[in-house]
């Protein structure tokens, strides 16, 4: 139980910024700029990682798996925030209330935390 609580707290702290950054963009122009500024380096990292792993003499080192997992964690959180913001912009354009849009944003973050926490809670038993 204690391990599951630690995982949830860690997930909350690590996922809040990459999720919240695109989810709080005020307009589609800001969202596009955020996608380019943050998503561009993330994409460049994953392209470089893929190319490096294709090399026959690739050795990762002792902390490589943890670094890759952390980068994947940040990328998924950013992508989820981006998706939630796009959905909330579409809802806003169709005249949905602010309360329902806020509910979508909060639900997206809760689902993200649950998606990250479930495997750790399962294997902690």
- Express each pLDDT in 3-55 by its tens digit: 767 777 777 777 888 988 998 899 999 999 999 999 999 999 999 989 988 98
pTM: 0.81
For 62-89, what is each residue's pLDDT tens digit? 778 888 888 888 898 899 999 999 999 9
Q: How many angstroms separate the Cα of 91 from the Cα of each of 19, 85, 88, 98, 101?
A: 19, 10, 5, 9, 7
- Alpha helices (H) along the chain: 2-23, 28-34, 40-53, 64-93, 98-123
Joined tokens for residue 61: 């080192």
Ranges of each domain in the chain:
2-51+64-123
């Amino acid at each position: 139980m204690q391990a599951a609580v630690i995982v949830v707290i860690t997930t909350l702290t690590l996922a809040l910024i990459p999720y919240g950054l695109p989810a709080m963009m005020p307009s589609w122009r800001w969202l596009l700029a955020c996608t380019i500024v943050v998503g561009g380096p993330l994409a460049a990292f994953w392209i470089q990682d893929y190319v490096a792993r294709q090399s026959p003499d690739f050795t990762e080192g002792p902390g490589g798996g943890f670094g890759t997992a952390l980068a994947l964690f940040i990328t998924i959180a950013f992508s989820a925030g981006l998706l939630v913001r796009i959905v909330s912009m579409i809802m806003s354009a169709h005249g949905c209330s602010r309360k329902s849009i806020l509910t979508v944003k909060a639900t997206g973050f809760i689902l993200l935390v649950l998606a990250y926490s479930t495997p750790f809670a399962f294997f902690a038993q």
